[in-house]
Chain A
Amino acid sequence: MILLDHRSDLMGIADIAQAVRRGRISALALVESRLARIERANPLLNCFTDIMADRARRDAQAVDAMVAAGQDPGPLAGIPFGVKDNYDVAGRITTAGSIINLDRRPAADDAVLLRRASAAGAVLIGTQNMDEFAYGFTTENAHYGATRNPLDPERSAGGSSGGSGASVAAGLCDFALGTDTNGSIRVPSSFCGIFGLKPTFGRLPRTGTFPFVHELDHLGPFARSVADLALVYDMIQGFDAGDLACMDRPVEPVTPHLSTGWNGRAARLAGWFDEMADDQACAAAMRVADALGATASVNLAGAHRARAAAFVTTAASGGNLHREALHRRAGDFDPATRDRLLAGLLLPADVLLQAQRFRAVFREQVAELFREHDLLIAPATPCAAPLLGQPTIEVAGEALPTRPNIGLLTQPLSFVGLPIVTVPIAGEPMPIGVQLIARPWREDLALRAAAYLEHLGVARAASVEPC
């Protein structure tokens, strides 16, 4: 058996897994290579909160044993991956980036998506850093430190799934599973120059993850190519009754359709999505629009109100989840999280009900656009990755506080649960992401468009020297 005689980081997940399934690469050697990188890079990048070397080696040996016995470990055979620290891992306390949760019992089982990835042969290598309780866009965590961007360690990796995005960008694992309530997969994808998928609300079950905002929480993968992203997505699809919001829909594999090219009707979102983006972000969206033949620019008039509704819903719903802890142990929260959650608890019910009613109105506005278009295009973030600790970003000629405003362009869209792929567009000094937005349940359209952009060379994961 060849252990690992070539740069497996240059291969896609499907090819690596195929090599493992054929016994040409050892899953254990693959895991050891990623653990070695983590050992070198994690002290600087701070992607992982828990490196699970024992479990990873044990699981990798089990994969190798299956191959030796002539059994097929699955399409993700031996692929090392990580999960955001709000996914349950059996026997471990799910911190969700907090110290408050250290009082909770260890998880009895792995989260459903983690179980599905493992059942397909993937090997969990660790849990990944995040903003406390997923409430943030920068992964500057008062308890577990800041995650640094592998493309420039002085810059933010984005958040709240910052450890997941940065570890995939740095090649510390081959894919990662994160969560996205207001942009927490799309923002790290944008800042770290990788691909991310936030599927339709209700597509992937959240069973076994620690909630932030029940009404808005989504799960999804990060990867360095569209094929990788689609393959992982295909392996983790499916209904689970443990999540009340999960819809009982058939598994709809996307991988077989990725190479069919793009012939859909695309349009660029203007208005709010132009006004709240800097020149680089607008140019990236324009480049994608040109490549996809999008001749129209359309306005989503309620976007600013949708963003506001997502903003107040998040504070109030998040505050409600943590009311007891905020009452008893406010000093144990990250101050940035605590003050926002406490403020959320003071909002009048009227505001929350209006936000929920506006959600229904906005859904119809969006549905109207999709009557004439198959795909909408918008920047993922107002700007490329800011410096860690940078207090403001420049948006629409104004200096706005960084932390609450990085999600200006993601929040209105997740508010109505649309499936979105973020694709990385090269730029100087940093790349930036563009959102490919499809109508509900049509992840396939967004992924096909992403594959076409990657094929054209318009979208490409940023290159990071392997550590």
Chain B
Amino acid sequence: MTASRPTLEDVERLARMAGLSIDPAHLPGVQRNLGVLLDQAALVLQPPIDPIVEPAALFHP
């Protein structure tokens, strides 16, 4: 799987690993959306964040 352009096979493999069954007819839509998400994920992952920063899972402003 590339960083931003997953193939249909990538999607099938990931779904299998995640225990999901995806209707083959839905795969192209999922593939397209996963590509968009991975583009956004790349922005989230770079640059690195100081390891001391805690996740804000339950968020209080």
Contacts and interface: CB of A to CB of B under 8 A. Distances in A.
Contacts of A327: 20-21
A244 interface: yes
The interface residues of chain A, by DSSP majority, are classed as helix
A404 interface: yes
Interface residues of B, number: 32
Given A304-B43, A356-B56, A404 B36 contact: yes
Nearest to A315: B37
Interface size class of chain A, counting residues whose CB lies under 8 Å from the partner chain: 35 or more
Interface string B24-49: 00100110111011101101110001
A339 B37 contact: no
B11 interface: yes
B12 to A, nearest CB: 10
B44 A245 contact: no
B29 A357 contact: no
A335 B11 CA distance: 17
Contact of A359 (B29, B36, B40, B56): B56
Contacts of A331: 23
B59 to A, nearest CB: 6
A343 B49 CA distance: 25
A1 to B, nearest CB: 47
Interface string A11-46: 000000000000000000000000000000000000
Contacts of B15: 342, 346
Contacts of B11: 346
Most buried by A among B45, B56, B57: B56
Contact of A360 (B18, B43, B54): B54
A360 B26 contact: no
Interface stretch (A59-67, A140-148, A305-313, A378-386): A305-313
A109 B60 CA distance: 28
A392 to B, nearest CB: 14
A344 B37 contact: yes
Given A200-B61, A201-B59, A342 B20 contact: yes
Contacts of B23: 330-331
B41 A312 contact: yes
Interface in A394-451: 404, 416-418, 440-441
A327 B45 CA distance: 29
Contacts of B55: 353, 356-357, 359-360
Interface string A233-251: 0000000000011010000
B44 A354 contact: yes
Interface string A68-83: 0000000000000000
Given A201-B59, A359-B59, A330 B49 contact: no
A202 interface: yes
A247 B18 CA distance: 35
A326 interface: yes
Contact of B44 (A215, A338, A342, A358): A358
A244 B20 contact: no
B61 A202 contact: yes
Contacts of A247: 60
A363 interface: yes
Contacts of B57: 215, 356
A354 B45 contact: yes
A355 interface: yes
Given A330-B22, A363-B61, A343 B44 contact: no
A354 B61 CA distance: 18
Nearest to B34: A343
Contact of A308 (B18, B21, B44): B44
Contact of A340 (B33, B38, B44, B60): B33
A312 B61 contact: no
Given A327-B20, A342-B26, A354-B49, A347 B41 contact: yes
A350 interface: yes
A467 interface: no
B37 A312 contact: yes
A361 interface: yes
A351 interface: yes
Contacts of B41: 308, 312, 347-348, 351
6 contacts: A247-B60, A312-B44, A339-B33, A343-B33, A357-B53, A358-B44
Interface of A: 200-202, 215, 244-245, 247, 304-305, 307-309, 311-312, 315, 323, 326-327, 330-331, 335, 338-340, 342-348, 350-351, 353-361, 363, 404, 416-418, 440-441
Interface of B: 11, 14-15, 18, 20-23, 26, 29-30, 32-34, 36-38, 40-41, 43-45, 49, 53-61
Given A339-B32, A342-B26, 17 more contacts: A200-B61, A215-B59, A245-B58, A245-B60, A247-B60, A304-B43, A308-B41, A339-B29, A339-B33, A346-B18, A346-B20, A351-B44, A356-B57, A357-B54, A360-B53, A360-B54, A418-B61
